[in-house]
A and B are shown apart, each in its own frame.
Chain A
Amino acid sequence: MKAFARRMIGIDRRIIFLLIAAATLLPLLQPFGLPIKVSPEVKAVYDHIEKLPERSVFLISFDFDPSSKPELEPQAVALLRHAFRKNLRVIGMTHWLTGTGLADGVFSTAAAEYGKVRGKDFVFLGWSPGGGALIIAMGQDLYTAFPSDYSKTPTRDMPVLEGVRNLRDVNYMISLAAGSSGIEMWYVFGKDKYRFEMAGGATGVIAPGLYPFLRSGQINGLIGGLQGAAEYETLIGQKGTAVAGMDAQSATHMVIIVLVILCNVFYFTLRGEKGRPA
């Protein structure tokens, strides 16, 4: 027993690496779909979209770049699926130049799933500089802020934008942000002035800092990190990458916990040995 414990306590760390790799990879390939507890702040976003009438205008701003892709892309996919299923008109845009290609890809894939047509059911406006100033410009006139969309089609007279002059005509908007400035900026320059309802989606690191906004009603809902994305996938009944990701999270966390417990068992087995073990 002691010999075994001694060998296990000094185990080759590459075995631990393999365990972690397996615990991550297997759930990704074959999700086991553990139950996900849906939090009220995610439910609020879902409920709001659920209540919107058909052909309402839904604006989604991709305020992140590829480094936050693992957490925010699943959120975007789930939201788009929900919006397309509800037959909303979806407008996409980004404040981050480096996130443009990624955002366009997400749009195309989700739209293809539901047979939605670019220019008629959705439009991806792409990137334009300015940050807060861009939001103000959109609040005054959408067509001067974005004369053409990402694929260089003129925005004026686009069927999807029928009756939309500026941000006041947006029914609901969500900013998926990798920095707290994304959601704050949309609130300060957009919602506060042009009175549309808005929500936020954020990476796990910055989500806790956004709860004050939620409590004060500045945003009506908040999707936080991969967990939030998994909750949204559960709500729309389409378990995707986030649920699989949360399974992988559960698995790796449990692997580490079991490893720590085992190493303490081995450690205490050895402790009786002459004085203190190395």
Chain B
Amino acid sequence: MPEYLLPSGTLLGAWAAAGLTLFIYSFLYKDNPLFKLGEHLYVGISVGYTVVLTWHTVFLRLLWEPLAKSVGEAPASPGSYLLLIPAALGLLMLARFIPKIAWLSRIAFAFVVGFGSGVAIPRVVSSYILKQIEDTVNPLLVRMDGGLSLGLDLAAPQSGINTVILLIGVVSVLFYFFFSVEHTGAGMVTARTGIYFLMIAFGAAFGYTVMSRMSLLIGRFRDLITFSGAAYGYATPILLGVTIVTLALWEMAVRRRAGP
């Protein structure tokens, strides 16, 4: 191996990374065998990865190790057998493989869904209702130098004028969500205001997100540029060529098959 090249693990890694990156990008042209290859490999690896991680973090670390440890203690405390409950519920889930007793899995569903619903209620009230009301309710006037003033500074988020706009926004959008009130008359005006608020906010959020998405692309391109160096054995340009040629050949083959 020539000396300027990187160690083989890194080198092979760079080729794999550059190749897979280009295969996935080929999807932007159209669905094609290279993308299918990348996609299926990706799904396979991710499933394998989840299985390995679940085995180690869930079965070994959360279930087996604590059980083995507490059972090994003499005398074992009754509380240490509590972990058998989720294990039993997990096994009930697997009852779905046997149609006759598949209904047993409902017990596990009930456990999961009941927990989720219960946990949600007070937390939703706290952070989505009380906290939101608390942040919205602000005095419209502030006391400054002994006098009262309505803050007209749009740039200060807490100013009086912004508090009013915020309040109008929250109320009108909330009104838009009313289901049992028809949007007619004054209701229509309020609901329309709500829609305008919604659209402006959605537009702003869309525009705001562009930057972070472009950062991702910059990151990928930068990696590809790195991999095109001599130390990486010119991985990017070579693989780019391979990708383009493969796509061209495939396109020709498809046309020939579709031809007369």
A and B touch in the complex (CB under 8 A): yes
CB distance A17 to B28 under 8 Å? yes
Knowing A14-B28, A28-B225, A70-B222 are in contact, say whether A20-B217 is a contact too (CB < 8 A): yes
Within 8 A of B (CB), among A219-266: 225-226, 241, 245, 248-249, 252-253, 256
Size category of the binding interface on chain B: 10 to 19
The complex places the Cα of A20 from the Cα of B210 at a distance, in Å, of 12
Contacts of B214 in A (CB 8 A): 24, 248-249, 252-253
B211 lies within 8 A of A204 (CB): yes
CA distance A248 to B222 in the complex (A): 11
A residues near B211, Cβ cutoff 8 Å = 204, 249, 253
Q: Using Cβ atoms and an 8 Å threshold, which residues of chain A touch B29?
A: 14
Closest to A71 in B: B215
Does B119 count as interface, using CB distance less than 8 angstroms? no
Decide if A69 is an interface residue (CB 8 Å cutoff).
yes
Residues of B close to A24: CB separation below 8 A: 214, 217-218, 221
Name the B residues within 8 Å of A14 (CB-CB). 28-29
Contact mask A13-44 → B, CB, 8 Å, 1/0?
01001001000110011000000000000000
- Interface: B216 (CB within 8 A): yes
Task: Please give me the residue from chain A that is nearest to B28 by CB atom.
Answer: A17
Are B221 and A25 within 8 A (Cβ)? Answer: yes
**What's the nearest-Cβ distance from chain A to residue B6, in Å?**
12
B219 adjacent to chain A (CB < 8 Å): yes
User: Does A205 touch B at the CB level, under 8 Å?
Assistant: yes
- Asked whether any CB of chain A lies closer than 8 Å to the CB of B184, the reply is no
- The digit string for A69-99, where 1 denotes a CB below 8 A from any CB of B, is 1110000000000000000000000000000
Interface size on A, residues (CB 8 A): 21
Q: Is B222 in contact with A28, judged by CB distance below 8 angstroms?
A: yes
Closest A residue to B25 using CB positions: A21
Q: Contact between B216 and A70 (Cβ–Cβ < 8 Å)?
A: yes
Bound-state CA distance A253–B210 (Å) is 8
Q: State whether A204 and B225 are in contact (beta carbons under 8 Å apart), knowing that A17-B28, A28-B218, A248-B218 are contacts in the complex.
A: no
**Which residue of the partner chain A has the closest CB to B216?**
A70
CB distance from B176 to the nearest CB of A (A): 25
Q: Does B8 make an interface contact (CB < 8 A)?
A: no
Determine the distance from Cα of A225 to Cα of B29 in the docked complex, in whole angstroms: 31
Chain A proximity mask over B220-232: 1 for CB below 8 Å, otherwise 0? 0110010000000
* Complex-state Cα separation, A205 to B217, whole angstroms: 16
Q: Which of chain A's residues 87-114 have a Cβ closer than 8 Å to chain B?
A: none
Cα(A67)–Cα(B60), bound, Å: 28
Q: How far is the CB of A9 from chain B (nearest CB, A)?
A: 20
Tell whether B77 is near chain A: CB-to-CB under 8 Å. no
Residue numbers in A under 8 Å from B222 (CB-CB): 28, 70, 241
Q: Which residues of B contact A253 (CB under 8 A)?
A: 210-211, 214
A204 to B216 CA separation, bound complex (whole angstroms) = 12
Which residues of B lie under 8 Å from residue A17 when comparing CB positions? 28
Residues of the B chain whose Cβ atoms lie less than 8 Å from the Cβ of A70? 215-216, 218-219, 222
Query: Which residues of A (137-153) have their CB < 8 Å from a CB of B?
Result: none
Given contacts A70-B216, A204-B211, A241-B222, 7 further A-B contacts (CB under 8 A): A14-B28, A14-B29, A28-B221, A69-B219, A245-B218, A249-B218, A252-B214
Task: Write 16 A-B pairs (CB below 8 A) sorted by A numbering.
Answer: A14-B28, A17-B28, A24-B218, A25-B221, A28-B218, A28-B221, A28-B222, A28-B225, A70-B215, A70-B216, A205-B212, A226-B215, A248-B214, A248-B218, A252-B217, A253-B214
The 5 closest A-B pairs by CB, nearest first: A70-B219, A252-B214, A17-B28, A245-B218, A70-B215
